[in-house]
Amino acid sequence: MFRNLRINIFVYYFLTVLTFLGILYYFLAVTDTKNIFLLAVVMLCFVTLSGVFISKLSIDPLEEHVQNLQNLSKETLHELNLPISTIMTNSHLLKKNMTNEKDLKRMQRIESACAMLQERYNELDYMIKTQTQKIIKESFELSELVQKRVDFLESLYPHATFTTELQTTQIIGDRIGLAKIVDNIIDNGVKYSPNSPKIEIKLNNFELHIQDSGAGMDEVELLQIFDNYYQSNTNMQGFGIGLSMVKRFCDRHGIGLNFKSKKNTGTTVTLKFKEN
């Protein structure tokens, strides 16, 4: 598809330039060269029409391709909803009749895996909605959102210790997008904390503080953390795009973002929200 698109654009551009030169030669060789105004008007009209056709030639196939991808994503999302709900419902029903400890643990693992699938489902649904809406805003309780994210991450990182001190804080914003940001920050804190990670989370005066006791960063590293694909520890799994995504989200939604870190001591990330 894209190979043919490149060829079509090249051919059209090549013909456009030849036509432009032909018109210019005609005016200079055949007509009165003093009629500069008429030449300028003809050239302007020709360039404008050429720009419209070239943009249409290049954008229309891409729009169709993106639309097909969006339709496929929506259809896939719809098809995923039923099996996820079925697994969750039946696992709860089966769990009620179980008494064996090993069977209960197996069922808990199934429920945890299903919860992770539900998270991915929500993220895909969020991504599709952000393609059709500029900014998704709703009123919600920030302390409840943070606590839910902590509860979810505790099941993923049982070796980590989480302490929370959350003040009731009602805000207006992108709830799902903010949940992903909180997940990303806490996830980084756990990954970069050796042995037994300790994550302290405080929410007061419309400020969310997430502090870890990990490896920390020096001033040079702090200047690079928002660069795409940057990782202070190259041995860590991941792609190094998390904090750049965090910054873009905060900038877009007017959330203050501040990092304080000290080598071998830990890092504190602060999110400052607007008061309603």
Q: DSSP per residue over 230-247, as a string?
A: --SSTTSSS-S-HHHHHH
What does the pLDDT read at residue 241? 47
Pair 213, 197: CB distance under 8 Å: yes
Percent of the chain scoring above 90 in pLDDT: 18
Instruction: Using alpha carbons, list the distances in angstroms from residue 126 to 73, 87, 272.
Output: 11, 22, 23
The per-residue b/e assignment along 87-120, b for 16 or more CB within 10 angstroms, e otherwise, is bbeeeeeeeeeeeeeeeeeebeebbeebeeebee
Among 3.90.1150.10, 3.40.50.1100, 3.40.50.2000, 3.30.565.10, what is the CATH number of 138-272? 3.30.565.10
Q: How high does pLDDT run on average in the chain?
A: 77
Poorest-pLDDT segment among 58-62, 110-114, 168-172, 233-237: 233-237
What does the pLDDT read at residue 227? 65
Poorest-pLDDT segment among 1-10, 96-105, 223-232: 223-232
Structural Rg of the chain based on CA atoms: 28
Q: pLDDT tens digits, residue range 179-221?
A: 889 988 998 888 877 777 899 999 999 999 999 988 788 777 7
Pair 201, 163: CB distance under 8 Å: yes
pLDDT at position 235 over 60:
no
What does the pLDDT read at residue 132? 58
133 φ/ψ angles, rounded to the nearest 5 degrees:
-125, 145
Higher pLDDT, 139 or 264: 139
Confidence of residue 130 (pLDDT cuts 50, 70, 90): low
Pair 267, 233: CB distance under 8 Å: no
Taking residues 4-9, what's their average pLDDT? 68
Residues in contact with 263: Cβ distance below 8 Å, sequence separation at least 6, in sequence order: 215, 216, 217, 218
3-state helix, strand, coil in the chain (%, to 5): 60, 15, 25
pLDDT at position 149 over 80:
yes
Domain ranges of the chain: 1-133, 138-272
Confidence of residue 30 (pLDDT cuts 50, 70, 90): low
| Other C-beta atoms lying within 10 Å of the C-beta of residue 188 | 22
| Other C-beta atoms lying within 10 Å of the C-beta of residue 225 | 20
pLDDT at position 141 over 80:
yes
Q: Cα(98)–Cα(94) distance, rounded to whole angstroms? A: 7
Higher pLDDT, 187 or 50: 187
pLDDT at position 139 over 50:
yes
